[in-house]
Every structure is written in C-alpha cells, then in structure tokens.
Amino acid sequence: MDDPNYDEFGNYIGPELATSSEEESDAEAEAAGTTTAHVLAAAAAAGADSDDEADGASDDSRGDRDGENGRLIAMTRRLEVSQTQIVLHEDKKYYPDAEDVFGPDVEVLVQEEDTQPLTVPIVAPAKMLKFQVAEEQDLPDTTYAKEFLVDLLGYPEMVRNIAVAGHLHHGKTALVDVLVAATHAWPEWDWAVPMATPTTKMQKPDEKAFGYTDVLQLERQRGVSLKAMPISLVAQNTRGKSYALNILDTPGHVNFIDEVIASMRMADGLVLVVDAVEGVMASTERVVRAAVREGLSITLVVNKVDRLIIELKLPPADAYYKLKLTVEEVNGVIASCPGADASARVSPELGNVCFASAAFGWCFSLESFARRYVDTWDMAVQPRDLAKRLWGDVYYHPERRTFMRKRAEGAGSATRSFVHFILEPLYKIYAQVVGEDEPNLRVVLESLGIKLRKSDYAMDARSLLRRVLCHFFGPPTGFVDMCAAHIQSPLDAAPAKTGRLYTGSADTAVAAAMRRCDADGPLVVAVAKQYPSADGSQFSVLGRILSGHISAGQKVCVLGEAFSPGDDEDMATATVAAAWVYCSRYKIPVSGLGAGGWVLLGGIDGSIGKTATIVGADVPAGELAIVRPLPLPAESVVKIAVEPVVPTELPKMLSGLRKIGKSYPLAQTRVEESGEHVILGTGELYMDCIMHDLRSVYAEIEIKVADPVVAFRETVAETSAVMVYGDSPNGKNRLTIIAEPVEQGIAEDIESGNVTLDWPARQVGQFFEANYGWDILAGRSIWAFGPGESGPNILSDETLPGDTDRARLRSVRDSIRQGFQWAAREGPLCDEPMRGTRFRVVGASLAEAGIHRGGGQIIPAARRVCYSSFLMAEPRLMEPVNYVEIQAPAGCVSAVYTVLGRRRGHVTHDGPKPGSPMYMIKAMVPTIDASGLETDIRTYTHGQAFCQHYFDHWQIVPGDPLDKGVVLQPLEPSSGQQLARDFVLKTRRRKGLSDDISIDKYIDDPALRDIVRGLQH
C-alpha cells in the first residue's frame, strides 16, 4: 500500500483525527460565521446605500436608515449568541407540530396503536356504484312543458296507461324510443345508425343513442331488457289533440314474465309488439293469455316491416299475405284464451293495429296513412272512410278509379288496395333512397315535400333511410290514435278494475270512490313495482292511484299482501318523503297527483315486500282492504344455494337477499332445514341477474353458489292401501285419514283461482259437481286447500255423524287444518311440497275435555297421520317440465333433435314457419336437464338456432322413490326406473336428512305397523 498513513494490514497509523462532535462544532461555527458575515455585509451595504443617497434628503429619512442599521447589528449579535448556546435534545424541534400545520382551531387525536388492518386504505376512495345509466341532472327539453304533462295527468279521461309487451327482440324498446325521439330533444338518436337487433347495439354500447328505457348497465351489456321501466309523455293524435301516455316498457325474455304481469297491473291496455317475420312466439302467447286474464284491451303493432323489404325481399303482394298471416296468428291466440270474446279481435280496419319499423323511426295506422292522402290531394272523403277500404279483399281499379270487393271480369289491372296505396309507395321510397344518387334522389324527395341538408345525403344508406322516412311519416300520430280509441281511460276502466282487484266490500265508500276514479275520495294506491336508488341502498315504489290524491309529506297506511281485516300485523304507517313522475332516465318532482295516474313514491318502502296497498290515514279501520297480489303465471322451480365467502359477512348477504325479494317479483328466498340459504327463480338468465345484483349492487360481497337444482313435488298414485290412524302425544285423541290422488285439472284450477274457499260452500260444491262429477256433499265438505290458500291439495271432512262427535270435531277443525298445511308444505319423501293429493278425514276420536284436545295435541297428530296415509298410497315424485321453442334453419333440425334426445326431451311439433326460411320446433324437456340447453343448441347449430324455454307443467318421475332394491352407482347418471330413487336420495342428503324413509316413525300402534310392513313386502 502506497499511502504512508496505513500499514501493510490496512490499519490507520497517521496523525490523530478530530472526533465527529468536533467536526459538527466546526461546521456549526463555520455556518455561524458565514451567517454573521452575510448580516454584516448586508449592514455595510445598507450603510453604503445611505451614503450614496442625495444630499437633499431630510433628517427624518436619515434617522430611519440609522434605525435600520441598528436593528441589523442587533440581529447579528443575537445570531452569534444563538449559535453558541447549548440546546438539549428534547428541546430540539425537527418537525412542525400539528398545531403549526392545521391551526389552533383543529382538534388533533393521536393514536398510539394502529387498529386499522393493512388491507384497508387510510383514506378510502369515494365509491360510486355504476349499475345504472346516469340520470339526467337537468330535465330534458321536450315538445311540451313539464307542467302541462303534470296538469294533464289530473284529467283521467285524457290519460292512457299502457303496457308494451311482446317476444324477445321484437322491438318493444325501439318502439318506445320512437315515441321518445318524437317528443324529446334526443340528438344522439337522430344521428345514430339504425340497429336492426341489439347485437349490434352491444358492439357499439352508446348508452345515449339507444334504449331510453334500458337504464341498467347489465341490460346494455346483455342487449336485452331485464326490468319494466315506465315513461310518461305527451303525444298528439292526427287531429292535434294531446294525450298523456303512461307507458311501461317490459322485458321480452320468457324468464321475466313477472315484470310483464306487474306492468299489466298498472295498465289499462296492452300494446302487443310482434315481429313481421317471426310472428307469434312463446312469449307472445303468454302475454296475450295474461292480458285476457287481466281484462286488458289488446292492440297490435306489427313491427320490423322493413325486414320484409330488405331482408326477405318479398314482393308487395306477398308482403301483404305475410302481414295478414301475422294478424291472424294473434287473433288465433286471443280466441284460444278462456274468457276472450269477439270484441278482443284485432284488425287494421278496426283501427287497433299499427304497422311500424322502429329501427327506421316510422309507425302508422291505416287512418293516419289515409289522412296523408286526404291532406295531400284535398280529397273530399273522410280519412276513416278511406281507411276502411285499405285492408282485406278490397281492390282498386286505377283506370276506373273505384274500389271493388272482388275482381271483376276484365279488371286485370286492379290491385289490392293495401298494396296499391301503402306497400308500393313504401317499397318505392326504400328503392329510391338505396339505389339513386343524390341529384335524382333530391328531385324525388322534394316532390314528396322532404327537404334534406347537403350533409344528410352524405350519410350511409341506413341513416339516410331513417332520415327520409321520419320526414315522410312524421310523428307516430297513428299510434296515439290507436291508443286513444281502443285503450280505455282510467275513468272508463275503473269499475271493472275495481271489481277484479279490490278484496274489500263493494258497498263501502272506498270502493265507490275507486269505481268513480275520484280524486277527492279516500286514498288508495296499488303498488306493483319497486325501483332501487342509484346506490341500491333504498327503494322507491311505483303505484297506480285508484282513488284519492297523494302528496309529499302525507301520512299513509301501508298494507302488505298478508293483511286481512282480522289480522293487521302486516300493516305499517309511513310518511311519503317525495313524489315523482317517473320517466326512466329522469324524474319530474311533483307536489301531488290525483287518481288515474302513476306515481313514484319515496320513503315508504320499509315494510313492503313485493306489492302493497297504500291507503290514507283517514280511512276507517273497518274499510281497510288490499288489492289482490300479482297473479304470477309461472313457478320458481330453479334453485341455488348461496353463502358468503367470508362467514362474518352473512348479515350483508341477508340484507341483500331481502332487497332481491323486493326487486324481483318471482324470486323466493328461504332457509332450508340444513341451514343453507336458497334462492328460487324461473330460469338461468333470471338467476344470473339475481346473482349479479346480489354481488355487485345489494350485498357487495363475494358469494359462493352451489350447483343449480330444481324444486320437486310429492304426490300419490293410488288410494291408501290401509286406513291408517294416528294418536296425539297424550294418547287421548285419534285421527283416521285416507290419501288419494285428485282428478286431472283440479290442481291447476285451484292454483289459477278458478275455485276458492272464499266462495260459499254451496258454490264450491256445485263447481266440483259440474266440472269433475263429485258428489255435491263431497264438494261442500272441503275444509282447506294447501299449502297456502291456493295450494293444489285438498283436505275434506267425510266423517259420519253417528261415528264422530261433530261438535268436538268442529272445535279442532282449525288444528287439523294447520297439521294438514304443515304436511302439505313439507312432504315425507324429501321435504318438498305435496301436489295433487286429497286427504279425507274419515274418523276422529277426541277427548271430552277441551284441555286434552288443544292445538299442541291435534296439530302434530294430524301431520303424522297425513304422512302415514301418504306413504301408504304409492307415493311418487314429480319434477318440473319446461316447454321449449326453437327457431332454426332447415339444415339444423337434425342437430336440434340430437341435443333434445340427450336431455330426455321429446318433440311435440316440427314444421316450417310460414313466410320465413325458418323451422319451428316445439318440445318438452325436464327442467333438471334443461340447464345449459341454450348453449348446447347454439354450439351444435353454430349459432343458427334460437331457443327459449320456460316452466310448463309437473310430471311424475319414472320409478318408485321407496324402492330399496335400486342400486345407485357413484359418479354415474341414473336412467329409467332409477331416477325417482336417485332424485329422492340426493335431495335428502343435500338437506341433511337420512336415507331411510320409513313409515314406522309415523305409526304408534304395533299391530298396525306389522300390517303395514306386510303390505309393503
């Protein structure tokens, strides 16, 4: 090493070095000297400046400079002293105090220990839930004043409450968009490229240009409507008269039939939207039947007429036959509905049919088209008279200029009037716009009175078509004509709607006010829908005001579905926080609304489950009654079990499940005996939407989901082989009951409300005698239906007066009913509800003392004897079966048959769809095998087939569920006669029940037990 300060081992041997403290002192001294020098230099500079100043300065200014110099010298001395004094470590101030940073007025809390987990940020970001399209902050510009809309809603005769319904992708939302675009300032819709199907909408998810009533982000991602959304607007008919239209745009998917039924409860008429090419489909039939059952007026809109021109390229004459076939298909469905009359028929010459192409923004009726001819040519004829000659077998002879019912001889040039006056001009417009260049097209359009800008001619063909057709047809006044003439106003519909929905007495003042639709009468509001707020924390309720006037701040009584005059447990009082007119993307706040309209209410959803009845606080207690719950035509048969990933988040999941019940009318949530939380819905898409909302909106937690299963039902195939009896726990009461199957159709009649025990006993007996051949006494002796008031099982009393004390039997009748309800709700096979079983009480030996035959003795005895008689009547398991409708090209039919064959399905109908290149296949598939059916069909047909399926009926599963000889192989599917045993055992294991289903635990008498065992073997 060359350095002389270090030896050969690297040790320092040079002169002594200063210590670190000495170095710090030297550095401080050097800094102090530098600071002092700077201060002295500043003082010297100040003195020099003062000497260089002009001699004419005053003595006062010179004195000021001397004072400044003195202050600088004093500062220098203080710096010299402060740099040399000793400061203790605890007195040193390295960082500013909280008071220095935040000020003396801010309270500072110091936490010695950090209790916040590392996974939680110190300052959490503001969380914004975006599951809806953002509401418009300001009310949009409209062709009418918002005050005029609110005032018009106060005149029921000028209001029309409408539900727009139909099959999936038939153009319901697009039709509502046409109405919105005609009344609202919506530039995005004006400049958007027309979309034929929501598929292209998914490719260009512009939330402002399409689907004004599709406010959920999930709807835009999937391209289908999932919720019924209302909108209120003012539209004019062809005569310029204004009407307030309350419109509910409903989903078209078969799984969401509950949204359609809720919308029909709010409406007085139905606008049925049907695709001109596809015609009547599965959802169309269900919607028509529901409308007839609800007593709604039916009008028809044949949509997507442009597909006949652009897609199928049909000649005008053939297009007429296709349109006529579509109208006749709808009439055929209406005629097949029970309770429909001839007045429900739809036909263009009657004025209750419109033709439309919502994608291109036009809609007309025969009268509106005829008015265009009358106004253009100044014809001396009324538009209504001309419209009657534009449909059916009416021909126009251009040379004679006359109409003919039949083609006369020699009149070969006569063409059908609808083709001549409507279809041919429409075809010519499409051809001119698509095929001509700008100069020629401009001449043609100007001859029609259509003047476009230069930039409009530069648009693509579809956009230019929409622009031209919107100018040609103008606003949809024909649609307004149809609604005004063929849909009753709330004032006219009130008497029938009150009689059909109100459960109270028809002689009360409340019922009289409802029949008059009286805004000055007692308040009654029927709540049918609930809508979540922007963050999903609370709900607003949408209701129809049947009578009275409701306003913000008003105190009301909320009656739930379980309310009855003798049981007011399901009743609560609330105060209306706010009232709005709901228009999907915006809300119009109002001080109050009167009878006949729809109102969105806030602050009263706390006690509402699915539907409710709101009455005024001044209504007498004796006149309180509810509006009937929704008559949902489908059953929730698809079942999934859910649990939170983090067990401590179970309260959040339970709160989310309660909100799911509010948002989805057909969703059911329950807790099984095993403790698992179960959700029941109508299908795969329905359950998928529920889980999306539960995870992302209402609970906001991670949730584990079990594999989907289906709900089963338990029934019997024969009458009980032995007349079994059961004793009460104290051994002083004995009941004897026989179980037997009911006739085909009775269960459906009870569930649909065709017969109810609210009728007098004589009327019930006459119903069963006339329809099923029962003895009149057997019909009058029915005690109960179960489970619930409209369950498909029957309990009847067939005891003989000489064998049973009738007075004692009547005293325990309610207890026997409760035991029957318990047994019908949880059957002995796998704790599933019973169906189609009649229990006949044929004997009863009851204790003399009333204390020995109380409910604690009779209820369990009745349940046990129902179970034992059920197991002695050849019990069977029932499974749900789905109706499947598949639309596919002819080349894909064999692939569809292959998929259905693998899922225990059988085809009921197979044939071509008239007027289209598609085949229609109708089949039945068990619901348990229908999971993933749509995906399989799309895979096997390469996406060319379209499938829809929904629950249709119950059928018995093959096999005996009590057959212990069936050997089930693990991980292998069962088939044939093994299915019933397989389903029962797997269901029992999932619910935590034992595999053994023995009748011994329901029979106490050893002798009877031996007899039963002998019969079973």
All residues at 6 or more sequence positions from 7 whose CB lies less than 8 Å from its CB, including other chains: 1, 13
Mean pLDDT of the chain: 86
Give the H or E element holding residue 68.
helix 59-84
Asked if 561 contacts 609 with a C-beta cutoff of 8 angstroms, the reply is: yes
Q: pLDDT-based confidence at 84, cuts 50/70/90?
A: low
Q: For strands 578-582 and 587-589, give the pairing.
A: antiparallel
What pLDDT score does 1016 carry?
59
How far apart (Å, rounded) are the C-alpha atoms in residues 212 and 231? 9
List all residues 6 or more positions away from 464 whose beta carbon is below 8 Å from its beta carbon: 433, 456, 457
pLDDT tens digits, residue range 148-179?
A: 999 999 999 999 999 999 999 999 999 999 99
pLDDT tens digits for range 984-997: 999 998 888 888 88
pLDDT at 411: 52
Q: Which two tokens stand for residue 14?
A: 């040079």
Q: Which segments of 345-409 does DSSP mark as H helices, in order? A: 366-377, 383-387
Please state the rounded mean pLDDT for residues 849-875: 91
Count CB-CB contacts under 10 A for residue 478: 28
DSSP 8-class letter at 310: I
Rounded to whole angstroms, the Cα distance separating 732 from 850 reads 11
Per-residue pLDDT at 658 exceeds 50: yes
- Please compute the mean of the pLDDT values over residues 255-282 and round it to a whole number: 95
DSSP string, 112-139: SS--S-TTS-SSPPPP---SBPPPPSSP
**Token pair for residue 995?**
């595999």
* pLDDT band at 57; cut points 50, 70, 90: very low
CB 993 within 8 A of CB 826: no
- The CA angle 403-408-413, to the nearest 5 degrees, is 70
At 115, is the pLDDT very low, low, confident or very high (cuts 50, 70, 90)? Answer: confident
Angle at 559 between CA 555 and CA 563, to 5 degrees: 150
Residues 340-398: tens digit of each pLDDT: 888 889 999 999 999 999 999 999 999 999 999 998 888 888 999 999 999 998 998 88
Query: Do 8 and 1 touch, CB atoms closer than 8 A?
Result: yes
Q: What is the dihedral of CA 894, 900, 905, 909, to 10 degrees?
A: -40
For residues 302-310, give the mean pLDDT.
94
Domains along the chain with CATH numbers: 21-49+61-111 (no CATH), 146-486 (3.40.50.300), 492-623 (2.40.30.10), 638-711 (3.30.70.870), 714-874 (3.30.230.10)
Which contacts qualify for 957-963: CB closer than 8 Å, 24 or more apart? 957/712, 957/876, 957/877, 957/878, 957/879, 957/983, 960/874, 960/876, 961/829, 961/875, 961/876, 961/877, 961/997, 962/871, 962/875, 962/997
* Most confident option among 217-221, 401-405, 934-938: 934-938
Position with higher pLDDT, 51 vs 686:
686
| pLDDT greater than 90 at residue 99 | no
Beta carbons within 8 Å of 675's beta carbon, 6+ residues apart: none
pLDDT tens, residue by residue, 816-834: 999 999 999 999 999 999 9
Beta strand spans in 603-719 (E)? 612-616, 638-644, 668-671, 677-681, 703-705, 709-710, 713-716
pLDDT at 400: 81
Nearest to 679 by CA among 700, 701, 697, 664: 664
